[in-house]
Chain A
Amino acid sequence: MISSVLKFECGRMFSSSSSWLVIAAVQFLLTLIFYNLLSKYLTDPALFEGRGITDVVIASYYRSAALIFLLIAPLLTMRLISEEINSGSIKLLLSSPISAHQIILGKFFAATFFLIFLLTLITLVPLSLSIGTSLDYGHLLACIIGSSLLLFSLCSAGLFFSSLFSHQSVSAITSYTAILLLWTAHTAASSEGSNVDRLFQSLSMSNHFTNFTEGVINSASVSFFIIITLLFLILGIWKIKMMRTMEW
C-alpha cells in the first residue's frame, strides 16, 4: 500500500512541468555557484592555505545546496496533504483500507525520492572534477550523506505542516518558520556556554549539517536528523488519525 501511494505521488511529481522547472532552476543556480567557487580557487589557491579542492569548493557547494533545499522543500511538500484536504480527495484515502502511517510514509518517500533524484543530479557537478584532479571521496560522501539526512528532515517537517492546513501557502509559511528556527537555533546561544546555550547549539540544524560538510560523520548529527525526521513523521501520522475525529 505504501508503494502504491509512493508510485502515484512520484508519477504526479515527475509528470508536472513545474517540478522539472524547479530541477532545472536549482541545477542552473548551483552550477553557477560551483563555477564561481572553482574560479576563485583556481585564480588564487594560496588564499586557501593549502586546503584541497574538496574542502574548499565541494564543501561550500553543498552548503549552498542546503540553503536551496531549505527554500524548495516546503514548496514541494506543501501540497502533499493540504491539496487533498482542500480538494476533498483526502476522503478517498480516509474511506479506503489504508492506514495513517501508510499514507504518511508513502507521501514521505515520494517527496524524498524526488529530492534525492535532485541531489543525485547536483552531485554530478562536483564529480566532474574527478576527470582532472583527485577528489577526497570520503569527504564528498560525508557531504552527500549530510544532504540526504537534511532532505529527510525537511520532507518530514513539510509533510507534517501540510497535514495541518488546507491552504498550501499557510503550510509552506509554517514549514519555513519551523525549518528556519531549527536551522538558526545556534544564533540564540550566547558565548557563556551554559546548559541552555549548549541546548540551542545542539538543536541547530546548521551546526549538525556543517559537521558533514567538514567531512565528519558524527553519530550525534546523524541521530539529530533521524530524530527530527521520525518526530515529524509520527506527528503527521497522529494528525491523519485525528482527522477522523475533527470537523471538516
Chain B
Amino acid sequence: MSDTTMMQAENICRYYGKQRALNNISFIASKGEVTGFLGPNGAGKSTLMQIVSGVLAATTGTVSISGFNIIKQPASARSALGYLPDKPPLYIDCNIDTYLLYCAQLRNVPSDKQQSQVEIAKQVCGLEGEGKRLIQKLSKGYQQRIGLAQAIIHSPEVLILDEPSSGLDPNQMVEMRKMILELRKDHCIIFSTHILSEAFQLCDRIIIINSGEKVLEQPISFFNNQSALEEIYVKETKTMPLNNTEITNDL
C-alpha cells in the first residue's frame, strides 16, 4: 500500500443466501482521486458501497481504510471514512444543527471542535444560515446536501458517495458536482453512478461493474470523450451474462 493509498479492497465477494451479488472485486483508491463506479441498476454498486463503508460485511475479501481493516479495526477504519448512502440517512424531525452535531459526536469529533466542524460542513455544502430549519421541511436537494455534510463532518480521508445526484433536478445536480469537485482536493472520493456524463466530468478513474463483476478499470484519459465512454459502457454491460441467479457450490 503506497503513501497515497487510502482505500484498498481485495477480492470482495458478497452472497445473499446462494445468490451472488459481488464476485471477486478488487481496487485501490488514492488521495486526491475520484474513483467512479459505473454500472446498470442491480449491478451491485450499492452493495459494494455498503461493504467499503462498513455497513455490510463482505462474505469473503478484505477492505482497508487508511491502513485499518474494516472488520478487525472497525472504529479506526470508520473514523477515517464518510458515507452518503443512496438515500441520505436523516432524522427528519430534527433541525440541521442538531442532526449534524449528533453526526459529529458519532464520528468521534472532539467535543471542543464539534461546533466548528458543523459550521465548516454547513459552509462547504451551502447550508449556512439554515441550521435551525427542520429537515422534513427541506427540498430533496437540500436534504442531499445535509447528507453530504454529515459525511464530511469529521474531515474523513475517504469519502464514499452512493449515487449522490440521484433524484436531484438539473440545477441541484450541477451544484452537487461542484461540491464533489471541491472536496476532491482533500479527500479520496469513491462514488457510484449510472449517469455517464457525471462520471466523465468528475472521475479520475472509472470502474465498470456488471452483474457483480468488475468488467473494466481505466483512467479517465483512456476514454477520448464521453461518446467513447458510452460506447465502451454499453459494450461491457451488454456482453456479460446475467449471473444474478447463479448458484455456486462454493458455500
Tally of contacts, chain A with chain B, CB under 8 A: 71
- Which chain B residues lie closer than 8 Å to A89 at the CB level? 89-91
Bound Cα distance A94, B50 (Å): 10
Q: Nearest Cβ distance between residue B207 and chain A, in whole angstroms? A: 21
Contact residues in B for A15 (Cβ distance below 8 Å)? 93
**CB neighbors of A among B5-27 (8 A):** 16
Does residue A133 face the partner (Cβ distance < 8 Å to B)?
A: no
- Inter-chain contacts of B150 with A (CB < 8 A): 92
In the assembled complex, the CB of B211 is this many whole angstroms from the nearest CB of chain A, namely 17
A1-34 near B? 1/0 per residue, CB < 8 Å: 1001000100110011000000000000000000
Name the distance in Å between B245's Cβ and chain A's nearest Cβ.
Answer: 15
Q: For chain B residues 69-88, which have a beta carbon within 8 Å of chain A?
A: 74-76, 78-79, 81, 83, 85, 87-88
Contact with A along B43-61 (1 / 0, CB 8 A): 0000000100111110000
* A157, B97: Cα distance in complex, Å: 32
B108 within 8 Å of A by Cβ? yes
- Asked whether B92 is an interface residue with its Cβ less than 8 Å from the other chain, the reply is yes
* B106 & A4 in contact (Cβ 8 Å cutoff): yes
- Asked whether any CB of chain B lies closer than 8 Å to the CB of A245, the reply is yes
* A95-B54, A95-B83, A247-B16 as given contacts; A8 in contact with B102, CB under 8 Å: yes
Contact B89 A92 (CB under 8 A): yes
Measured between alpha carbons, how far is A180 from B90 in the docked complex, in Å?
34
Chain B residues with CB below 8 A from A92, complex form = 89, 103, 106, 150
The yes or no answer to A93 lying at the interface (CB within 8 A) is yes
Determine if B94 is an interface residue (Cβ-Cβ < 8 Å): yes
The reply to whether B92 and A87 contact each other, CB–CB distance below 8 Å, is: yes
Q: Tell me the bound Cα distance from A11 to B94 in angstroms.
A: 9
Is B107 positioned at the interface, with any CB of A under 8 Å from its CB?
A: yes
The answer to whether B75 and A97 touch across the interface, beta carbons within 8 angstroms, is: yes
CA distance A95 to B75 in the complex (A): 9
Q: Interface readout for A75-103 with B: 1 if CB under 8 Å, 0 if not?
A: 00000000000011111111111110000
- Over the window 226-248 of chain A, the binary record of Cβ atoms lying under 8 Å from chain B Cβ atoms (1 yes, 0 no) is 00000000000000000011011
Chain A interface mostly helix, strand, loop or mixed?
loop
Name, among A4, A89, A96, the residue most crowded by chain B CB atoms within 10 Å (CB to CB): A96
Task: Say whether B243 faces chain A, with CB atoms less than 8 Å apart.
Answer: no
Contact of A244 with B56 in the complex, beta carbons under 8 Å? yes
In angstroms, Cα B79 to Cα A91, docked, is: 14
A79 to chain B, nearest CB (A): 10
Given A16-B93, A88-B87, A96 and B107 touching (CB < 8 A)?
Answer: yes
Question: Are the CB atoms of A91 and B106 closer together than 8 Å?
Answer: no
A70→B136 CA distance, assembly (Å): 31
| Proximity bits, A41-69, B CB within 8 Å = 1, else 0 | 00000000000000000000000000000
Chain B residues with CB under 8 Å of A248's CB are 50, 56
Return chain B residues, CB-CB under 8 Å to A88.
Answer: 85, 87-89
Complex Cα spacing A99 to B75, Å: 8
Docked Cα-Cα span, A90 to B55, in Å, equals 9
0/1 interface trace, chain B 193-214, chain A, CB 8 Å (1 if under): 0000000000000000000000
Q: Are B93 and A96 in contact (CB under 8 A)?
A: no
Bound CA span A248–B53, Å: 15
Chain A proximity of B217: nearest CB distance (Å)? 25
Q: Is the CB of B91 within 8 A of A12?
A: yes
A contact residues around B106 at 8 Å (CB) = 1, 4, 92-93, 96-98
The contact sample of 13 A-B pairs, CB cut-off 8 A, is A1-B108, A8-B98, A8-B102, A87-B89, A90-B89, A91-B85, A92-B150, A95-B55, A95-B83, A96-B107, A99-B75, A244-B54, A248-B50
What residues of chain A have their CB less than 8 Å away from a CB belonging to chain B? 1, 4, 8, 11-12, 15-16, 87-99, 244-245, 247-248
* Chain B residues at the A interface, C-beta cutoff of 8 Å: 16, 50, 53-57, 74-76, 78-79, 81, 83, 85, 87-94, 98, 102-103, 105-108, 150
